[in-house]
Each structure stands twice: as structure tokens, then as C-alpha cells.
Amino acid sequence: MLPEATPEDDGTTAPPPARDKRPPDRVVLRADLRAALPDAGAAVLVTAAVFAFLYARMESGDSATVAVMPFMDDAGTYWMYLFSQAFGWSGLLWAWGTVMLGLLLSGPRPARLPVSRHTLERWHRTTSLTTMALMSAHALMFAAELVRHEAQLAWADRLWAGFADTFVPGWYDSGTGRIAIPLGQGALYLAIPLGLLFYARHRMGANTWRRLHRFVIVVYVLSVWHTLLYGTNVWYGEWPRTVLWLLQLPVALLLLLRLLRPARRAERLHMPTRRGGASLPGWVVRSTGRVVAAAVVVGVVIVVVSGHDGGRERPAEQPATSPHEHEPE
Ligand code: HEM
């Protein structure tokens, strides 16, 4: 979720003054954390708005979450669950934004940008930090709801149950969550090191960092997959699910463009030659990446146009289950 190349990597920024003995990585992270405050403030407002929307839907009887889990028909009791959902949505929206910025920076340079490249890079870094915080808040609120729910257990067992079901891969053993929760955990556990590695890039070298940073797209794919599989507000084949699919189209298109016309010359697809050209395995990997990205674009268009988006039919009545048992019908 961080830029492919920064002014520092290009060597276009003056090195820190020789007498400044502070480690440069820490300075950058601290400065970025400060710069992320307005962005984080906006994310809090968006989360609050989503929470209010989900709360109102629960009160009005329109909530898809209640349709999936009827016992949840009490927004006052399940407010932490609603907050977890709201943080999930703001986290996904910020992940979308930061991935789009990253692809804009690493793909073909647009002829004209509304803001400078330097500003885009800063936005990419700050939205990336905010995304990590929102994803963590989503998981923490879910854990808090589980702790609240397990009132019959002793405190130590309650805390452990909430922690293990939320954070220990493979622990959560019910319904769709057996797959969906590890997908979310995978996204969270990859996002944090991959995002923060940026601040240690001087130690590992820009090339190693850049190679690792590419895997951030996996974080995004896991996040979307987790949501499509487990989000009760996109459980049924209704407009929220269609919007979620539609939002993936610009990401897939930018990814394809970024692979076809990367900003960095070294990443362009050259035919393998005997005389020092690209190696055959490298060429195969790069070509496959481009074909997969093109297939994703076509796939998303087919899903949106055909309406076959994996959404279920909203049933007239649904049997009650416990809060973390999302059973597909
Ligand atoms: C430890 C990792 C995670 C856990 C335990 C977790 C847990 C959950 C659970 C239980 C739900 C179902 C809520 C519902 O009833 O709708 C859910 C939905 C969701 N999750 Fe996660 N998640 C994790 C990671 C992530 C990540 C990394 C993202 C990316 C931003 C994410 C985004 C979402 C979204 C957008 C929803 C849909 C909420 C809704 O339908 O209103 N989750 N998650």
C-alpha cells in the first residue's frame, strides 16, 4: 500500500544532514503518522456515518445482518458488532483508495495530474497507515463483541475465546467463517508488515523492498474475498453486493495498465533473448500476470453485467444462529 518509487529511492532528494544522527526510517514513520492524522480523522467520520446507517437499518427492520441472524435484531445490544462492520467498510474503502493511488504511481504516468506526484505519494503512505488502523479496529471490535457475548464464561475464558476466535488462524470453527476468518486474518497479518517495511527500506535495499511490496495486492484481494464471502450486508444479491463488485473494476483495470505499461523500465515485458535479455522463467511469470489481470477485468465485467455475483436469495424467514455462525443456506 505504499509507493513503488519515492524521491529518496530515485536519489532526487538531498540526503539528511550529516550531523543528524537520528535513524532516517524512524523520522519518516513519525512524520507520516503525523501527516496521517487528517486522513485518519476523515476515516473516523466515515466509520461513524456507516455505523449510523447500519444502526438505522437495524432499527427499521431492513438490516441484511438481521435477516441472516434474526437474534441480532437489537442494535443497542449489538452496537460493537455494528462498529466492527463499520470499521470493516471504512477499512475496505481506504484499502481501495490506497491501492488505486499505488497503481497510479507505479503504472503509466498520466499526462496531467490534479496534484503533484510528491503529494500523491504522501497520500498513498498516509492512507496506507490509516488502512492498517481501520483493519485492526474492525478485528478488535469483533473480538470485543465475542467477549461481551460469552457472558456465561469466567473472565479469563471470555477474553481467551474472543482473542482466539478473532486472531488465531484455524481456531474459529463454525460455518463459512472457517474459510472467511482466515482470509481476513491473512489480509491483516500481511498488511501490517508489508506496509511498515517501507520505513525499513533503507536497511533492506529499495529493490528487495519493492519486490516484497508487490504482494500488497494479495492483501487487497484477500480483503475483498473475505468481505464477499462473509459480510452479511453483502450476503444477498442486492445493490450493496453489486456496488462492491463494481468498485473492483477500476482496480482491475489500473492493475492491468500498470502491468502492461509499468513506470519502471526494468519491469517492461521484453522477449527473452540469448544475449542478456529477459530470462524465460521471468518472462513467463510476467506474461502470466498480465493474462491473469486481463482475465480479472473480463470476469468482473461478466459478474456485474450478468448479475451472477454469488449473492444469495433473501429468504422470507431465517432460523436463528449464534452471532458468529454465518451458515450459508
Ligand atoms: C483478524 C482479521 C479479521 C476478522 C476476525 C474479521 C471478522 C469479520 C466478521 C466476523 C465479519 C462478518 C460481519 C458481518 O456480519 O457482516 C466480517 C465482515 C467484514 N470484514 Fe472482516 N475480519 C477480519 C479482517 C478483515 C480485513 C483485513 C478487512 C479489510 C478491510 C475486513 C473487512 C470486512 C468487511 C468490509 C466486512 C463486511 C461487513 C458487513 O457486511 O457489514 N475484514 N469480518
Answer yes or no: is the C-beta of 85 below 6 A from any ligand 1 atom. yes
Q: Is the pTM of this model over 0.85?
A: yes
Contact present, 164 and 171 (Cβ < 8 Å): yes
Q: Which of 227, 236, 251 to mutate to test the pocket of ligand 1 (most atoms within 8 A of CB)?
A: 227
Q: Can you tell me which residue has the cell 517492461?
A: 268
Q: State the average pLDDT for the chain.
A: 88
Which residue type does 26 have? R
Answer yes or no: is the C-beta of 146 below 6 A from any ligand 1 atom. no
Residue 146 lies in a domain: yes
Contact present, 2 and 25 (Cβ < 8 Å): no
Residue 32 lies in a domain: yes
* pLDDT-flagged residues of the chain (< 50): 1-18, 328-329
CA distances from 323 to 71, 86, 163, 280 (A): 8, 16, 15, 51
Q: Quick one: pLDDT at residue 172?
A: 95
Determine whether 275 is exposed, middle or buried from the number of CB atoms within 10 Å of its CB (0-12, 13-18, 19+): exposed
Query: What Rg do the C-alpha atoms of the chain give, in angstroms?
Result: 22
Ligand 1 center–CA 165 separation, angstroms: 13
CA distances from 222 to 183, 196, 226 (A): 6, 18, 6
pLDDT in tens, 31-83: 999 999 999 999 999 999 999 999 999 999 999 999 999 999 999 999 999 99
Q: How many CB atoms lie within 10 A of CB 287?
A: 12
Cell of 59: 432499527
C-alpha span between 42 and 22 (Å, rounded): 31
Answer yes or no: is the C-beta of 231 below 6 A from any ligand 1 atom. yes
Answer yes or no: is the C-beta of 130 below 6 A from any ligand 1 atom. no
Contact present, 149 and 80 (Cβ < 8 Å): no
Cell of 101: 493511488
Domain that holds residue 110: 7-236
Closest residue CA from atom 24 of ligand 1: 184
Q: Can you tell me which residue has the cell 525499513?
A: 200
Q: Quick one: pLDDT at residue 174?
A: 86
Residue 75 lies in a domain: yes
Which residue type does 285 have? V
* Backbone φ and ψ of 75, nearest 5°: -60, -30
Residue 198 lies in a domain: yes
Q: Quick one: pLDDT at residue 38?
A: 97
Residue 318 lies in a domain: no
CA distances from 226 to 94, 221, 329 (A): 16, 8, 18
Residue 199 lies in a domain: yes
Ligand 1 center–CA 74 separation, angstroms: 20
Answer yes or no: is the C-beta of 220 below 6 A from any ligand 1 atom. no
Q: Which of 94, 181, 226, 239 to mutate to test the pocket of ligand 1 (most atoms within 8 A of CB)?
A: 226
Where are the alpha helices (H) located in 150-215, listed in sequence order? Answer: 155-167, 177-196, 201-204, 206-213
Q: Quick one: pLDDT at residue 24?
A: 52
* Backbone φ and ψ of 77, nearest 5°: -80, -40
Closest of 27, 28, 162, 141 to residue 78, by C-alpha: 141
C-alpha span between 104 and 127 (Å, rounded): 14
Answer yes or no: is the C-beta of 232 below 6 A from any ligand 1 atom. yes
Residue 244 lies in a domain: no
Q: Quick one: pLDDT at residue 108?
A: 87
Contact present, 318 and 68 (Cβ < 8 Å): yes
Residue 101 lies in a domain: yes
- Per the structure, how many domains does the chain have? 1
Q: Quick one: pLDDT at residue 264?
A: 82
Contact present, 213 and 198 (Cβ < 8 Å): yes
